[in-house]
Amino acid sequence: MPTADNLVHARLLWNYLRLGAPVHPAECLLVFGGHDIGVAQRAAELYADGVVPLIVVSGGSRAVPDGSGFPTEADAIADVLLRQRVPKEVISLERLATNTSENFWLSAELLRDLGLAPGTFLAVTKPYAERRIIATARRRWPDKQVAVTSEQIQFDDYLAGDIPADRILSMLAGEALRLEAYAATGLIDPAEPVPGHILDAAHILQAEGFSSRAVG
């Protein structure tokens, strides 16, 4: 289990990686797949609030909740959306992407095949992936307006959820270090360099054993 010091570093990373920007209406909701099904609940809330008329769910790998039995992340998320009474006809599934760049690329291909060309998007991702999603959007979709949101939850409540704490801390550390590594290779276009104290916190957590999401 994480120590009190581990949690201090993790909370620092959480507060940096999660942008918490206000939500505005957009033409399309782009939902990113992954092991955290909380993105589906957030997407259903946004649709019910009338924020978006169209939903694209992107995710082709099998990083779905344990025991769910769905073939892809997109299918697992779509199941939640349908159970939350989101109409099937407003949901489109992209089932091939295995990383964030592919989420953008293949979602654009899907929309093009559907004859749709939205210019404004609201991305839904894991809380700690908000900053990387925006940085990737700047690189992959420079001609589109992309905002980001995530499940509305505090760090302590997220840590007390179904995802194991050691996995969450590993993800937080990995996200921070990916921002630096991906910017250096041109994969993303961050607005600013990652602060040194954030990188230090990530390295400390990885040295403490929370390294399953280590770069490379």
Residue 117 pLDDT: 96
Has residue 58 been placed in a domain?
A: yes
Do residues 147 and 24 make contact, with C-beta atoms less than 8 angstroms apart?
yes
Q: Average pLDDT per run of 10 along the chain, which is 216 residues long?
A: 96 97 97 92 97 96 67 94 97 95 97 97 97 96 97 97 94 96 92 95 97 78
Evaluate whether residue 16 is within a structural domain.
yes
The confidence score (pLDDT) of residue 34 equals: 87
Q: In the prediction, which pLDDT does 213 show? A: 81
Residue 213 inside a domain? The answer is no
pLDDT at 63: 63
* Number of CB atoms found within 10 A of residue 28's CB: 22
CA distance 12 to 25: 30
Q: What is the pLDDT of residue 200?
A: 98
CATH of residue 134? 3.40.50.620
The pLDDT assigned to 58 comes to: 97
Q: Each residue of 97-106: pLDDT tens digit?
A: 999 999 999 9
pLDDT tens digits, residue range 63-98?
665 556 888 999 999 999 999 999 999 999 999 999
Supply the range of the domain harboring residue 63: 4-151+160-207
Whether 216 maps to a domain, the answer reads: no
Residue 215, in any domain of the structure? no
Distance CA(193)–CA(184), nearest Å, equals 10
Does some domain include residue 212? no
Residue 74 lies inside a defined structural domain of this protein: yes
pLDDT at 143: 95
**Strand 55-58 vs strand 28-32: parallel, antiparallel, or unpaired?**
parallel
Tally of domains in the chain: 1
